[in-house]
Structure 1
């Protein structure tokens, strides 16, 4: 491993303190990287805005140590109550498909949360890590060098620049989470491909209603004309306003007009909107960049892609941009990998985001109708149909399991390695077609790493306690699992691990876990090579008593006595290999940025 260069003592500058910027800052700070976060606003937005957190995002938040805080401020999704012409008789329908029982999921369903409360929880967590948001500060411009970025930052007051209050920030890299209208993307000269449809509007805001039950997500009217929805959130009496449809009138955004609109659509004068705050109109602006980085400057979230709120993919995709980017940046910062690794951020995320735009746009067009062919086609993967079928509210709002994002994968990435039987792999062309799903019926490198119930062995007295595989995942390092068929295989494992422990375990690149199939196996003495590693706390010994881990990692049909599985810090399977040479190849490829 190389030693950190002097420039690597510089901070990483994060521009924007929305969910994506905050997640990026938390991830980097936890890896020991100094971070500065600037935010142009002097006060933080109090609007509900994005409300859905998908299971894949919740897993990432758990790797960052913030999932428990998020669960405390969120609620499980509610079924829809679509009201008929009388405004009182509901037709109930589920919001989305569940995960199913094929694997063990730590978060089997999405959660509903106010984005304002979510951001507040992230800011509090970041502050506990020693980082405070520098509000009323904006990026002016920047210049890139071989080993750093020089950014000019100035203070602003009431949205106006404050003369003389400028600072030059020398930083290792710059992460732009400054939104669709942000300055960074324009200064990089990256085109924002897509389409704006001014006529497609959604009215959103915070509504406080004391006499409406929170058992359902309530919807009145017809989305093909005009409709009014109220989505419950955890805060007492708080609902999110969602009004849309081609016949929705242009109205002032004050509470009296919101009340009148609600009554005109629902006919329910018995439901009292006490207050309506942060009411605004969203207009369709569906775009993405052709690449998400130039040199040491990286775009995440809305700065790189913006889309319809239908499907709840936007905020989630932005945070997953952040976790994909930051573990790689941490490896480069700490001298564990070359700068070439950063090119894989765009290589992995652009196909995923293009497919996400295609899916969320399809949901959007169900409600608003599909456009003719446009520049958007290049961003979302194909020409748009002019078909406009008549669909009811339930069909428009129904969400497939795909949108839980558990199938998002990077099977085509240059920094994943699959060395097992060709029967479980697919061609590069095939896997690129479905980055939101699975290209084969077997788990392979590049997929989300499943969870499984296990037991961990306390080696001092050979007792066990329950645990899950995801307990070993975090944004700090890889997890290297060594699946063995019996203790008899440990002799081989101990010898093989001698070749990887110095470079990969001692360096902090990966943790090491050996997985045995039965608890009875731990009564036998451990080979000295394994016992020494355990004594020095360089490995954990796990028991897969119910063979759940072997099943979800598709190893139950494999006769190999040893299988190595590397899990990336973002919870993605980095590599499968039947021997330690495959793991060496994977980590060396990673270190070289996939360019060997």
Structure 2
């Protein structure tokens, strides 16, 4: 709530879903004053988007909650398909997936959205920040120095920047006046909710389908007694969807599951969902930005909505922190839209295709919904102005803008440490590869001193612990992941600069290029 006074905060975040909470953590851990408000008076307990993809787990490891998410959810839940009441098969589309040194998460985790939000709130509280529930932003005014948010109770909040993370019906987006292009298909809809069901096993995701193309799915939600229910809705005489209810859920279940004696009970969430495919034409207007569903909404297939929003926040957080603290010009924020709008467009296309594949899968007795398993996310930003010009067109060669790979190493004391752990520092990370060479160590040391507030630096040797160097690539995984092998046809770059959101910024042999790049970040030029 507010006392009606205008208070000056660094960043005001509107909306405390996964996107807003991730952004708040990213700002708070960089020492930025942040205030996060939500119109709802209390957190919900709805499963909603129920999966975190491998790339999102990498992001959330940096944020600080992946271990907790893995302990709360499950990474292994087979799909059990039935057709016209008969069991067809049990499948696990990721059964053969294995972690690799450069990609530690080989599969996603099934976890309710409310549980993800709970973990994020707990992490945010570790920085002394709490969500202000029951605080509804109805509009805003902005000037050269900041933004004043107008609240439903007449109060006002002053901030340097405002970020709308307030969902598909975003009031912030509407007040910005940006376009929200796309379609809403009222003919394609689904009822979804959380219910309990005695007598149904919880060790598989049940998917009952029928020859008429309809069906029902029950997915057991880890850490609860609930299942997420998904089905096509019942229709009225005009062919319009009826409002969801426990009674209609029971009728749909009885019709398609054909499992006598099972009663659905204790509904905690009932919703009617329609196919929406929309995105904004701009993610920033002055000091106001959009992220997550406020900027792009997707078909439900693949669970990419929550994942894309979290990755929006991860991309924006470090840039907004530098702009807010004055260590970079506001023009750096233009790269947020430059990088994330194409990803949103790609994701919209992918989720639309996935939804079509799901609808087709239910018609084929031998095909499971696993045929629509989502593609990997985290495609990188090779097109970005923050990525140095590409030196090769080979997609298999690591280039600026790509996701930075992980690798197991040893620290100077011989203790195991992964590169992802090293990258968890909120600054840029500079890796200087070399066999303990004085030239590499000297270059890395000078850059670390000159740009201490912006970069942390490490020398990486290919020997065992005890030799000179901050990190020891004792098994060669880091060198292979970053293309620094004896078979590399081009001159081997010795310096690798990693962005705070764990993407490759620059690969070079010239320390002056690193210094120039870091200076560009602090004085980022506006668009021409």
TM-score normalised by L of structure 2 = 0.91
Q: Is the 8 A contact 2:441 2:459 kept in 1?
A: no
Alpha-carbon offset, residue 592 of structure 1: 2.8
Q: Is the 8 A contact 1:69 1:121 kept in 2?
A: yes
Quick check: 1:70 aligned with 2:58? Answer: no
Q: 2:432 aligns with which of 464, 479, 482?
A: 482
The 1:346/1:340 distance shift into structure 2, 3 A limit, reads same
- In the alignment, which residue of structure 2 is the partner of 1:134? 132
Deviations 1:99-134 (A, max 9, x none): 656653222210011111221222222223211211
Alpha-carbon offset, residue 147 of structure 1: 2.5
Quick check: 1:50 aligned with 2:41? Answer: no
- In the alignment, which residue of structure 1 is the partner of 2:4? none
The 1:98/1:129 distance shift into structure 2, 3 A limit, reads farther
Quick check: 1:267 aligned with 2:258? Answer: yes
Deviations 1:177-199 (A, max 9, x none): 01111111111110000000111
CA distance in 1, matches of 2:277, 2:243: 25
CA distance in 1, matches of 2:271, 2:53: 24
The 1:293/1:393 distance shift into structure 2, 3 A limit, reads farther
Q: Is the 8 A contact 1:177 1:301 kept in 2?
A: yes
The 1:189/1:391 distance shift into structure 2, 3 A limit, reads farther
Quick check: 1:92 aligned with 2:90? Answer: yes
CA distance in 2, matches of 1:178, 1:345: 18
- In the alignment, which residue of structure 1 is the partner of 2:494? 563
**In the TM superposition, what are the counterparts of 1:346-495 in structure 2 within 5 Å?**
346-368=337-359, 391=364, 394=367, 396-399=369-372, 403-406=375-378, 408-417=379-388, 422=391, 425-426=392-393, 440-458=395-413, 464-474=414-424, 476-484=426-434, 486-487=435-436, 489=437, 491-495=438-442
Alpha-carbon offset, residue 262 of structure 1: 0.2
Alpha-carbon offset, residue 591 of structure 1: 2.3
CA distance in 2, matches of 1:418, 1:145: 36
- SS in structure 2 at match of 1:312: helix
CA distance in 2, matches of 1:280, 1:544: 51
CA distance in 2, matches of 1:409, 1:30: 24
Q: 2:268 aligns with which of 260, 266, 277?
A: 277
Alpha-carbon offset, residue 273 of structure 1: 2.3
The 1:279/1:245 distance shift into structure 2, 3 A limit, reads closer
The 1:399/1:586 distance shift into structure 2, 3 A limit, reads farther
Q: Is the 8 A contact 1:450 1:552 kept in 2?
A: yes
CA distance in 2, matches of 1:367, 1:136: 38
- In the alignment, which residue of structure 2 is the partner of 1:436? none
Quick check: 1:255 aligned with 2:238? Answer: no
CA distance in 2, matches of 1:250, 1:443: 49
The 1:480/1:258 distance shift into structure 2, 3 A limit, reads same
Q: 1:152 aligns with which of 145, 150, 153?
A: 150
CA distance in 1, matches of 2:509, 2:519: 17
Quick check: 1:547 aligned with 2:476? Answer: yes
Q: Is the 8 A contact 2:84 2:210 kept in 1?
A: no
The 1:197/1:545 distance shift into structure 2, 3 A limit, reads same
Quick check: 1:213 aligned with 2:201? Answer: yes
Alpha-carbon offset, residue 334 of structure 1: 2.4
CA distance in 2, matches of 1:193, 1:238: 36
State the aligned residue count.
Answer: 516
The gaps in structure 1 that reach 5 residues or longer are 1-7, 156-165, 370-387, 427-438, 459-463, 527-539
TM-score normalised by L of structure 1 = 0.81
CA distance in 2, matches of 1:153, 1:345: 27
CA distance in 2, matches of 1:389, 1:205: 20
Deviations 1:276-310 (A, max 9, x none): 22111101111001121111111000100001010
Alpha-carbon offset, residue 495 of structure 1: 3.1
Alpha-carbon offset, residue 561 of structure 1: 7.0
Alpha-carbon offset, residue 368 of structure 1: 4.8
Alpha-carbon offset, residue 336 of structure 1: 2.1
Q: Is the 8 A contact 2:58 2:105 kept in 1?
A: yes
Alpha-carbon offset, residue 588 of structure 1: 2.1
CA distance in 1, matches of 2:458, 2:97: 27
The gaps in structure 2 that reach 5 residues or longer are 1-6
The 1:340/1:59 distance shift into structure 2, 3 A limit, reads same
Alpha-carbon offset, residue 79 of structure 1: 2.1
